[in-house]
Amino acid sequence: MKDEQNLREQICEIGRRMYARGFVAANDGNLSVRLSDDKVLTTPTGVSKGFMTPESMAIVDMSGAPLDANRPSSEIRMHLFVYRERPEVQAVVHAHPIYATGFATAGLALEECVAAEIIATLGSIPLARYGTPSTEDLAESLRPHIHRNDAFLLANHGVVALGRDLWEAYYRLERVEHYAHIILVSRQLGGEKILPRPEAEKLFALRGKYGQTGLNPGCASCEDECLGAACLNYEEKYVVGSDDHLGRIVDRIVGRLVAQGVVPPQNKM
């Protein structure tokens, strides 16, 4: 039996941290946690995450129908989609942290083997296609990634992180934002250096030692000359020399040039 009052208080504490760190502004962002197989506790709509109270939380069933007088977050559909697709997930956190959301709005995933801590924990952080907020389309945008990842960038929107509890989901959100900041700084200094596959494999092997049990799809690129096909535990296979492979190389090069101010942002048709 879950301690509902404790979960309400945890949501308030995490909301305060998100607000204090600038992960959300005004009434942005939302959090939720499973209460049971058929009930979810979620943040209320229209309330700043920095000023929530335990009694302001809303409870919904798995269809999104309210079970109390409080109005649930307008993006509860996305949370419920996650819970239906991933029964082991117990909590979902969504926010708009500046650096990670910057990458999301630029159309850039965080998927390369660069930072040791990320390789050993989250692995590739994909970019989900754009979906209109508060609609089923936003939830569906996660479908290609939901069974491979525990954190996602939402195109032109923000970040979603999942966890076995509220704190794990929140810390994954923190990790994504910290990593995005590191990548931005590295690109300002000339560009990140991708670790070779053997080094990435060593880090991946440390997951058990670090107590990492979540999903980790590896990296989308392990070496400069390889994108996808030879990558650690990465399911999508890109054949070297194919249009997919060459296109991803071009996208990465252009992304770096844009980040360095060498060329203007490219409008994708």
Please identify every residue annotated as catalytic: 75
d(CA 71, CA 134): 14
Please tell me whether residue 223 adopts helix, strand or coil conformation: strand
Can you say whether the dihedral through the CA atoms of 130, 132, 136, 138 is positive or negative? positive
CB atoms within 10 A of CB 87: 9
d(CA 226, CA 232): 11
Are the CB atoms for 32 and 1 separated by under 8 Å? no
| Residue among 97, 172, 92 nearest 139 (CA) | 92
Q: H/E element holding 92? A: strand 91-95
d(CA 259, CA 108): 10
d(CA 53, CA 67): 18
